[in-house]
Amino acid sequence: MMQRKRGVMALGLIWLLTFLCLLISIIKYTLGAILKWSVPGAKVSKDYAFQPTVSVVLPCYNEGKTVYDSIESISRSNYPSDKFEVIAQDDCSVDDSYQWILKAQRDFTGIRVRADRNAVNSGKARTVCNALAHSNAEVIISVDSDCIFDPDAIRELTACFSEPNMGAVGGRVGVNNPNDGIITAIQTFVYYAAFHLYKVPENWTRSVGCISGCLFAIRRELMLKLEPQIRSRHWFGIPVNQGEDRFLTHMTLLEGYGTYLNHDALCWTNVPTTLNELFKQQLRWRRSILRDFFFTLKTLPRHVFKLHPNAVLHLVITPLGAVVAVLMAVTILAGDPMAWAGPSPVVAYLVIAAVLAWAIRRYSVRETVKNPLAMGAYAAWWLVSHLFITPLALCTLDSRDWGTRSKEQEASLVHTND
């Protein structure tokens, strides 16, 4: 009898936490929509006359020709060519990435392109730090080596630093391949909702919790101050090389600076097209979220007394939601193994897809999804994500790899190059 009572209490607690997380998410999306279209104060005051020197830091590992395409897009930036440079830092790629970097250096002579290689494979976070040693610029923009820049991206990012207390500014990441399949269509919806709605309430208080590493701008003096902490990050003594974007954003807030997402600063990326690629990407992101969650809990008094309540809320609730979702998924399947395929979740996702498809078609034509019904498949992916990815992430928080290439692919590339 006592065990049954405890089981009921545990189940009740799970559903209470689930309800609270869902309620807060709904409030954030709703508030995001209201702030985005009706409250001018949610946007930063941009000064386009403010044009500091900029180093675009591009860490690279096994990206092949895409790194050349990325540098080419940066070279076309609508920003004074004598005020920005590209620092491409290769992390001992086993493919021809470094040759493509050198080719970009030869081809794009209108800007300064610095090419360098790490002495040993060091991971993305330390590769960014190694590139920093070559820069004297006032603003550092860290980008992913497979992203394509919008010509106004640098101009939009730097304009936000006219606010003296602005520490880090991010841009919006658009999906370049929305119609490659159901998997890319789902990600298009998720990306659009995250950038255009979910992060807007965080923008309102200049307390964005995670600026994407695809397009991350930070003041040089702040980056130099945080560099030792980036290099010394570890998980119980094992160095951590992933999630530097979330960590840098978090530390920027704790240093007393504001963080902001400028939706007019754009870059484009090809999202994963297969379940295997998506799983590896999401696993890497989930590890980052969970590490950040444990760090927040460990230093909670520091957060409560130093940060805006809105910042504390999303730094706790977002990762807590990932943990609660595991319990929720197990509870649902224990009660009804086919609940995920029922009409209610599918209809809910289809309604959300219809709304997002309309918004994307109207405000971001390039990302228009031809088959909005694809979002219905998200019900199945949600279960995969939370039943497998979160537990696996919890068990592999000491992972050090980039996550961009499998061991089989690397071995194949080495064999090809021999």
Does residue 28 belong to any structural domain of this protein? Answer: no
Does residue 98 belong to any structural domain of this protein? Answer: yes
Question: Is pLDDT of 140 > 50?
Answer: yes
Does residue 390 belong to any structural domain of this protein? Answer: no
pLDDT band at 415 (very low <50, low <70, confident <90, very high): very low
Question: Is pLDDT of 273 > 90?
Answer: yes
pLDDT band at 102 (very low <50, low <70, confident <90, very high): very high
More confident residue, 55 or 25: 55
Token pair 């008094």 is at which residue?
301
* In contact, 51 and 83? CB cutoff 8 Å: yes
Report residue 348: phi and psi, to 5°.
-60, -45
Does residue 182 belong to any structural domain of this protein? Answer: yes
CA distance 285 to 243: 7
Residue 217, SS3 per DSSP: strand
CA distance 186 to 352: 11
pLDDT band at 330 (very low <50, low <70, confident <90, very high): confident
pLDDT band at 407 (very low <50, low <70, confident <90, very high): very low
Question: Is pLDDT of 416 > 50?
Answer: no
Looking at the chain, the whole-number percentage of residues with pLDDT higher than 70 is 84
How confident is the model over 199-211, as pLDDT tens digits?
888 888 899 989 9
pLDDT of residue 264: 93
pLDDT of residue 53: 97
CA distance 111 to 350: 47
Residue 140: domain span: 47-271
**Strand ranges inside 210-341, DSSP E:** 215-219, 234-235, 238-239, 258-269
More confident residue, 2 or 164: 164
Question: Is pLDDT of 106 > 70?
Answer: yes
Mean pLDDT of the chain: 84
More confident residue, 345 or 395: 395
Exposure class string for 345-355: b at 16+ Cβ within 10 A, else e: bbeebbebbee
More confident residue, 292 or 402: 292
Look up residue 317 and give its amino acid. I
184: tokens are 């890319």
Strand partners, 383: none
User: What's the average model confidence in pLDDT over 42-69?
Assistant: 92
The total number of structural domains that make up the chain? 1
User: What's the average model confidence in pLDDT over 95-104?
Assistant: 95
User: What's the average model confidence in pLDDT over 281-288?
Assistant: 90
How confident is the model over 168-198, as pLDDT tens digits?
999 999 999 999 998 999 899 889 888 887 7
Question: Is pLDDT of 80 > 70?
Answer: yes
More confident residue, 25 or 163: 163
pLDDT of residue 414: 39
Does residue 373 belong to any structural domain of this protein? Answer: no
CATH code (residue 57) = 3.90.550.10
More confident residue, 28 or 90: 90
Does residue 376 belong to any structural domain of this protein? Answer: no
Does residue 151 belong to any structural domain of this protein? Answer: yes
Does residue 234 belong to any structural domain of this protein? Answer: yes
More confident residue, 315 or 6: 315
This prediction has a pTM of: 0.84
